[in-house]
Structure 1
Amino acid sequence: MRGECCYQHRPDAKRASVEQHRPSGAPQQQQRANAEQKMIGFRGKTGNEKVYFHGPSLGEARPKVACFGRFVVPRLRITKQIMQMGGVMMVRSPRRWAFASVMSGLCLAAFAAGSLQAQTLANPAPVVVKAAYIPVITWLPAWVAKEKGFFANHGLDVTLSVAQNLSVLPGTLGRQFDFAPSTAPDLLKAVASGLDVVAVAASVFETEDNPSTQLMVAKDSGITSAKDLTGKLIATPTIGGVIHVSVLYWLKKNGVDPASVRAVEVPFPNMGDQLKAKRVDAVEAVEPFVGALRNAGNVALTAPLLSAGKEVLFPFWISSGEWARSHRPTVSAWKASLDEAIAFIKANPEEARKIVAQYTKLPEPVVQATPFPAYRTAITAKDIGVWADVMREIGQLPTPVDPAKLVVAP
C-alpha cells in the first residue's frame, strides 16, 4: 500500500505530527524507508509503544486503515482521534468509542456494586435488641455496656427499658423483649407452666464475702432468730422471687414451717417506711437499701440466699428459648459486651457509680455507699439446679424440670 507511514515513540520527542508522502518512482521498499526516515514521533508514558498508520498518498481517496501490531482495521472516516490512555496510544472510531464507553460504564457499575457489597459485609447493620432491667445495682453491667458503647462495638443496637417486677418478665420474651432479668425460681416456674424460656448469661452471684441481700428487722422488734418469725408478716419484692424462696428455705432449715409466715409484696424503696411504721415485721432487702436500713438503726437476721450454698446464682438474663437458639451470635455479643462492662467497672469504679446514679436516681451519698456485688456472666445448668432442689424442698416445684435444658450458652 502506498503512502505507508510509521510513528515510533522516541524519548527525545515532545509532540507528534502526521506527514503525508507522495509516491515517487522509487520502489515501494525505498519509499517506505524514506518515509520512516522523515517521520518524527513521540513517546507515551511507558516509552516503548509503537503505533502504525497506513494511508493513501495525498490527492487519493482511498480509505484509511489503522494497524495495531499485526491487526489491520479499515477506517472509513478521514478524521481520527488519537487518545492516550495510561501511556498507550489508541486510535478509535466513533462506534468503537461508544462501545468502549458502554463497557467502561458497565465495569464501573460492577465495581461500585462490588465495593458496596464488600462494605456492607465488612460493616453489617447493627442487630436491634430490646432488653428490660430493674433499677438496682445488680444490673449495672448492662447500663455500662450501653453508656460506654460496648454493645455498639459488638454490633448491637440495644434499647433498655425499666421494669419493676421480675416475675412478669418471662411472658414478655419474644414479643416485647429479647433479654430480661430473672432469677432461678421465676425461670423454673415459667418453664413448669409451659413457657419456652432459657438462661443466657448470669449477672450476679451471691457470695459469703460479698452478700447483697439481707433479711432485716427493727432493732426493737425482739426478733433475733428464725423461730421468732413464726406468724409474722414479711415484706418481699416478689412472693415467688428468689429472695423470698431463700427466706422460706432458711426458715425450714431452722425448724420453722414456711407456711407459718405471711408475706406481702412491697417495693424496695418503700420497705424502710413500712418497717418503721410497724406495718411489717421484717423486710427482704437488697443493696443499696440494706445500707440505708442499717443506717436507720435496723439489723440483719441473715443473708438468706446463702442458705442455698456458699456461692449461689442470684439474678441473670433470660430469653425466649426459640429466639436464643436461633440467635446465638447475638447472645454471644450480649455476653461479650457484659464481660467488657464488668472489666470496666473494676477498672473505673467512680465512673461506674455515676452510671448507677443515672439509672437508679438514688442520692449521691447512697450511691457512694453501695458496694458492688460479685458480677459474673458464666452460667451453668448446675447453678440453676441448686435452686430447683431448694424449690422442691419447700414444695414450690411440683412439676419436674430439667435444668440441663434451661441454659443456652453462646
Structure 2
Amino acid sequence: MRRRVLGLATAVVTVVCAAGCGSSSDGASASSDSGSGGTTQVKVGIVPIVDVAPLYLGQEKGFFDSRGIELKMESAQGGAAIVPGVLSGQFQFGFSNPTSLMIAQTQGIALKSVINATTTTGNTTRDVTGVLVKKDSPIKSAKELAGHTVAVNTLKNIGDTVVREAVRKDGGDPAKVKFVEIPFDQMPAAIAGGRVDAAWMGEPAQTIAMSQGARSVTAPFAETDPKLTLATYFTSARLAQENPDLVKRFKEAVSESLAYASAHPDEARQAITTYTKIDAEVLKKLTLPLWPTETNLASIEKLASLGEEDGLFGDKKPDPAAIFG
C-alpha cells in the first residue's frame, strides 16, 4: 500500500520539478491573456463522465465566453492523473475527487478547490456510480464482494475507499476485496468477459453495462454519505494567488453552468454526446448527479477519515478545510 502512495508522490514531485520556478509552462503563465481581444485560453483536465456535462453545456451557452474565457477540455483517466497536469501548467484547472486532492496535499502539494463539481444523488439503489456484476453472478450484496476482484478507475483512491465502506457497512470484510485498475469505458466489457468479478463504474459506463445485462449490488457513494461531494474544480495555489481574477471568472462561469444544468437536465444529457459516444436509448436512462455550487465539507472530512483508515495518506494527516474551505 505504501509503495502505491509513494509512487503518486514521486510522480507529483517529478512534475513539479519539471515545471520549475518561473517556467513558461506553469499554470500562472499559461493562463495570461491572449492577443485576441483579451480572451484567456483556459485548459481544464476532466474525466469524461456525466459529472462534467455542465462544463460543456456552459461552453455551449456562452457562460465562459461572456467572461473572456476560451475553454478547452482535455480528458484523463482520473483525478490522480489530473493533479500533476495542473501542477505542471498543462491545465489551469482540473476536475478531481476530494481524495486525490488530499493525497496530493499530504505530499506537500499546495492546491485550492475553486467550486463544487458534483454531488451524489443519495439514492442507494441507483446513484451516479454503482458496483455492477454479471446477471448470473453469485454476488448479491456489498458484503459478498469480499473475496472477489473489483475494478476501479484509479487504485488507492476514492473508488476503493467508498467500495470498502459499502462492504464494511453491509457486514463484510473490506480487507478481503481485491482491486484492479481499469478505465471506466472498458469496465462493461471487463464484466461481460469475466475479467473481473465486479466493477465500480460511473455514468455512462454504468447504464451501458446494465443495458448489456449487468446489475448493481451497491451504490457506494450514497452508502458512504447521502450528501457526499464527489468532485470539485481546483487549481494550483500559485495560480490562485497570482491570477485571482481568472479564478473568479472561472468560478462564476462554472457556477452559472451548474445552475443551468440543474434546471435543464435534458440539455445536460444532450451535452454528454459532445464528449462521449452514447446510444440514444442509453442516454435517456442515465442517472445524473446533483450539481450544487457548494461543497459539503463534512462529507469530505468523512472521506479523509476513511482514507486514513485505508492508509492512503501515509504518515500524514490531510487538512480538508485548507483545500475546500
TM-score range, shorter chain: 0.7 to 0.9
Q: CA 1:402–1:150 in structure 2 vs 1: closer, same or farther (change >3 Å)?
A: same
**TM-score normalised to the size of structure 2?**
0.81
- 1:195 aligns with 109
Q: Does 1:162 align with 2:78?
A: no
Q: How does 1:30-179 map to 2 (within 5 A)?
A: 125-174=38-87, 175-179=89-93
Name the one with the larger helix percent: 2
- 1:180 aligns with 94
Distance in 2 between the 1:383 and 1:245 partners? Answer: 13
Cα deviations by residue, 1:290-328 (Å, 9 ceiling, x for unpaired): 222222222211110123212100121121012123333
- 1:406 aligns with 323
Report how far residue 211 of structure 1 moved. 1.9
Q: Does 1:323 align with 2:261?
A: no
Distance in 1 between the 2:195 and 2:132 partners? Answer: 14
CA contact (8 A) 1:200 1:379 kept: no
Distance in 2 between the 1:154 and 1:390 partners? Answer: 39
Q: CA 1:135–1:328 in structure 2 vs 1: closer, same or farther (change >3 Å)?
A: same
Distance in 2 between the 1:248 and 1:347 partners? Answer: 34
Distance in 1 between the 2:217 and 2:257 partners? Answer: 33
Report how far residue 140 of structure 1 moved. 0.8
- 1:375 aligns with 291
- 1:385 aligns with 301
Q: CA 1:125–1:311 in structure 2 vs 1: closer, same or farther (change >3 Å)?
A: same
Secondary structure at the aligned position of 1:361 is classed as: coil
Which amino acid in structure 1 is aligned with residue 188 of structure 2?
G
CA contact (8 A) 1:275 1:282 kept: yes
Q: CA 1:325–1:257 in structure 2 vs 1: closer, same or farther (change >3 Å)?
A: farther
Question: Which has the higher relative contact order, 1 or 2, with Cα contacts under 8 A spaced 6 or more apart?
Answer: 2
Of all paired residues, the percent bearing the same amino acid is: 28
Q: Does 1:228 align with 2:116?
A: no
Distance in 1 between the 2:100 and 2:263 partners? Answer: 33
Distance in 2 between the 1:129 and 1:273 partners? Answer: 35
Distance in 2 between the 1:254 and 1:344 partners? Answer: 37
Q: CA 1:219–1:351 in structure 2 vs 1: closer, same or farther (change >3 Å)?
A: closer
Q: Pick from 188, 198, 206 the counterpart of residue 120 of structure 2.
A: 206
Q: Pick from 250, 263, 279 the counterpart of residue 179 of structure 2.
A: 263
Which amino acid in structure 1 is aligned with residue 321 of structure 2?
A
Report how far residue 124 of structure 1 moved. 7.0
Q: CA 1:280–1:169 in structure 2 vs 1: closer, same or farther (change >3 Å)?
A: same
Which amino acid in structure 1 is aligned with residue 65 of structure 2?
A
Cα deviations by residue, 1:59-99 (Å, 9 ceiling, x for unpaired): xxxxxxxxxxxxxxxxxxxxxxxxxxxxxxxxxxxxxxxxx
Distance in 1 between the 2:133 and 2:158 partners? Answer: 19
Q: CA 1:250–1:394 in structure 2 vs 1: closer, same or farther (change >3 Å)?
A: farther
Name the one with the larger strand percent: 1
Cα deviations by residue, 1:268-310 (Å, 9 ceiling, x for unpaired): 2221221112121111011222222222222211110123212
CA contact (8 A) 1:381 1:406 kept: no
> Matched residue pairs, number?
286
**TM-score normalised to the size of structure 1?**
0.65
CA contact (8 A) 2:57 2:268 kept: yes
- 2:14 aligns with none
Report how far residue 189 of structure 1 moved. 0.7
Cα deviations by residue, 1:338-396 (Å, 9 ceiling, x for unpaired): 22223333454444333211111222322232232201222254342221112123332
Q: CA 1:194–1:154 in structure 2 vs 1: closer, same or farther (change >3 Å)?
A: same
Q: How does 1:286-305 map to 2 (within 5 A)?
A: 286-305=202-221
Secondary structure at the aligned position of 2:308 is classed as: helix
CA contact (8 A) 2:167 2:173 kept: yes
- 2:16 aligns with none
Q: CA 1:218–1:405 in structure 2 vs 1: closer, same or farther (change >3 Å)?
A: same
Secondary structure at the aligned position of 2:166 is classed as: helix
Report how far residue 212 of structure 1 moved. 0.4
Structure with the greater alpha carbon radius of gyration: 1
